[in-house]
Amino acid sequence: MKPKKICLVVNSRSPQSLRLTAYLTKKGYEVNYINIHEKEFGGPGVLGKVKAFFNLKKVIKETKPDIVHGHGINWAGILVSYSGFRPIVVTTRGSDIWEIGRMIWPEQYLIKQSLKIANLVTGSSEALHNQALKLGMPPEKFRLVFWGIEPDLFKKKNVDSLRQKLELPKETKIIFCPRSIKAKYNIDVVLEAVSLLKFDYKLLFTDLNIDPGYWAKMQPIIEKHQLKDKIMVLPKTDSAGMAELDNLADVIVSIAQFDGLPVSFLEAMACEKKIVVANDVFAKEWHRGNNFWLVPLRDVAATTEAIKKALAMPEEKFKPLGEQNRAAVLEKADVSKGFEAMEKVYAELVK
């Protein structure tokens, strides 16, 4: 049996959620896409959360979906689980269950209960599976579903025109951090690490979901190491723009405090790029010898050394490793395969 109406409840307008919505719509599903952070739906604070809860119940009553799907267990997943509707599926994104120890007790309790209440739970790595089990999720409820990449978009390509547009000399090494400028992505460590480099480079970020307060705290580091002319914060861009930035980079750095399986990591692999990544549990599932550089969390010296080694490796020597990375992503995390896997989860729910 195939469901016809899907209600997607999300924490933000993430590219992955929007792509899933577009895919389901194209396949003939009726999709209600709810961004619970929109002011008119809920809003900040306790009152906003109460408003979002009753608004969700109202939407469910009016639209009569076959399935309700909450993305991010620390809020959307909780709302969906306690909405009273069944069947439901919740998707863990990573920090929602990795950072549970930092949350207030009521939120911890509600997350653990949501993992038990949900009919099914999806996640993009075995690391998330294992963490959910530790938090009390019944083992039979988990389904591995990758938030995949668009292989025709994220692939090796010439981007000399972008280099010229950004007025970056050919000899300048490009270090790209695709993560948001937020504390959990350890941007301070990235800044400290590149400050130790002695050659010509540019460090690129985008301002997607930037935390202005955190970025203000980074300014003393930038001033201390005289990095102002070394850094470019570019406007947020779409997937095509991210693919261009990936290809522009000589090395991509992603050293988050916690991660499930970031799509930006898969995108960099699909573009056959050199990657420096924190020694997170998800990364070990993709590590094959020396196909990328693993560093201990918040280790400035190790991060600097890994960037140096990545840049020093000749492109011809890295080429087979880059091709290996792309092949691994296409085998497991092609976006169409991820969407098909989610469809199977939906079909399973309504049997």
DSSP per residue over 82-147, as a string? TSS-SSEEEE--SHHHHTGGGS-HHHHHHHHHHHHHSSEEEESSHHHHHHHHHTT--GGGEEE---
pLDDT at 12: 63
Matching fold, domains 5-148+334-349 and 160-332: yes
- For residue 204, pLDDT over 90 is answered with yes
CATH value of 5-148+334-349 in 3.40.50.800, 3.40.50.12500, 3.40.50.2000, 3.40.640.10: 3.40.50.2000
Region label for 91, one of left (φ > 0), alpha (ψ between -120 and 50) or beta (otherwise):
beta
* Mean model confidence pLDDT for the chain: 93
Domains of the chain, by residue range, sit at 5-148+334-349, 160-332
Angstrom distance (rounded) from CA 14 to CA 309: 33
Tokens representing residue 193 in the block: 């690490």
Nearest to 339 by CA among 149, 93, 90: 149
pTM equals: 0.90
Q: Read off the DSSP letter of residue 274.
A: -
Q: 10 Å Cβ neighbour count for 196?
A: 14
Model confidence band, residue 48 (pLDDT cutoffs 50, 70, 90): confident
**Res 302: pLDDT:** 98
pLDDT greater at residue 47 or residue 287 = 287
The confidence band for 261, taking pLDDT boundaries of 50, 70 and 90, is confident
According to CATH, what is the number of the domain 160-332? 3.40.50.2000
More confident: 143 or 47: 143
**pLDDT band of 13, cuts 50, 70, 90:** low
